[in-house]
Chains A and B, each alone.
Chain A
């Protein structure tokens, strides 16, 4: 038996529904159908009246969740795809994110965003929205990369009193497996050293953590390079202390993300490292993101659009040779 990343998300929701009567799920096709990705399979039957199908109204879905949260509930909203949260953007960044600051009343809602690219998904079912939401004060943005994090961070997200954007990577849904859900107890806001090393640090999150590890293994085989991989786990809060401590060991930084290249998480990491740890750097920090086009449909184009172990290795070789 093994647990997949999507199993972990489903199981976390089951745990939450079982343990907390304030929790309910709202989203398109999530009730009897079990969701487009089956993240809520069987939950409607197990928890009658608490797993509710919504109309195709992303704005109203989040507005509804804000209202319910004001009244003391803990809604989990499933966006069918992260890309469609653009329709809910106003309610997320203006209603949910500003609410605690404006009124003193926190809105504990969790928005699940099935994020990132998969082959053939194309421009509107592949986006990574974390940087957009991290930009706004009042939101917590998490990007679990492991099965255990998918489970524990969803539980923790729902228990937080603030709105959480939970970015779950679709590429990991069924590919990523673990024998069981183990946790190391790291809270949201703490990064993890996924792989220790001493020659360079790759700061990554979500699915890119796994691509970074693959690249690190290649460089280990290729030239004995020991690449440290830091998994940010949450992009907001961003655990810059763990990043700086890693760079203090390695002296070199590659910030890696699947999102579009302008601005975003990798730019934030580089900016903070330069501002707070310039003296730790032995080489100019590098960023590697997707290309600056919409996410293409064809698998060959898609594979060349996002960072891959090959392009990560290339970036690391240049970083190491400086």
Chain B
């Protein structure tokens, strides 16, 4: 794995606080998502639950590379870790999943379709690839306002989204405008149940970066330190004026598409391969071995995050759900002429 070797070479340069941020977000997201899965299986969550299990290193490395309050992060379906690293409160997640009217979506949208657009976190729609141009537009606005300096906009997609027209149009537009956009392609081998060989015919999705005229990076998504290194570097390049950057991460989704899906289409041999390594379990070993954290620290973090997750779930569960009678049922903020 040449990328891993490259990461090995540069590990000494990795910022200790950054790596610890990445790891903590991975751990917190894993604990939160385990809880969400239990709640779903207990029938406490209406609608789907979509986990980022196995993709936390990629997502958190991106989230921790971005600066909340300055940068833009359009998280997608498997980005709990990135959201956490970026600074989204746990309550935004639990309130949205559990339907609290106090959440950012007020029960009008659920699960991973949440965001705080005015705080640099657009709320994804289900149509894949569609956020790429939205982040591009947010960056264009910053440019027009003279506020683009040092700003990065980022979004994540999966292998499936790379087949959409929206992805192609969005990344091409960003390249034409030379925007500081980072697009992470987490190639988790399956778009729902469709394997790579039914999704695209190029040898490596990374080749597309050349076609688009954007920076291209490849990383072993199961390796926390490699992700921290490569994704951190891609964000830095974009921030320093290097134009759009595309990172292709190789990994395996360690859950179903959603918790309703057992993922039985994933061959056992693939699960047992390098791709199927758990980035968190593997990451714990690396954190300790490379001196980024001690066993005790990790244990303390785990205990603290477990409590935080419990508290966020308990609070959201106690909060009011939306009342149809209080809902204003308005899709426009203005009502020219008094309505439809």
Contact = CB atoms under 8 A, between A and B. Distances in A.
> Is chain B found bound to chain A in the same assembly?
yes
A99 B55 CA distance: 28
Interface of B is mostly: helix
B132 to A, nearest CB: 7
Interface in A58-99: 58-73, 75, 87, 90-91, 94-95, 97-99
A189 B137 contact: no
A24 interface: yes
A49 B172 CA distance: 20
Contacts of B332: 100, 106, 137-140, 162
B336 A189 contact: yes
A48 to B, nearest CB: 12
A64 B134 contact: yes
A316 B309 CA distance: 69
B42 to A, nearest CB: 27
A189 B331 CA distance: 16
A237 interface: yes
A279 interface: no
Interface in B282-340: 330-340
Interface string B116-152: 1110001101110011111111111110110000000
A70 B144 contact: no
A105 B118 contact: yes
Interface in A267-307: none
A161 interface: yes
A68 B140 contact: yes
Given A64-B140, A70-B122, A73-B144, A189 B333 contact: no
A234 B336 contact: yes
A57 interface: yes
B140 A67 contact: yes
B173 A237 contact: no
A63 B131 CA distance: 7
Nearest to A136: B331
Interface in A233-291: 234, 236-239
Contacts of B169: 55, 57-60, 63
A188 B336 CA distance: 6
A187 interface: yes
A203 B339 CA distance: 19
A106 B332 CA distance: 8
A181 to B, nearest CB: 20
Given A64-B133, A64-B136, A90-B130, A189 B337 contact: yes
Contact of A162 (B126, B142, B170, B333): B333
28 contacts: A57-B169, A57-B173, A59-B130, A59-B133, A60-B132, A60-B170, A64-B134, A64-B173, A65-B137, A67-B134, A67-B139, A68-B138, A68-B141, A70-B137, A70-B138, A71-B138, A75-B137, A90-B130, A91-B166, A95-B134, A98-B125, A102-B123, A139-B332, A162-B332, A187-B336, A190-B337, A237-B336, A237-B338
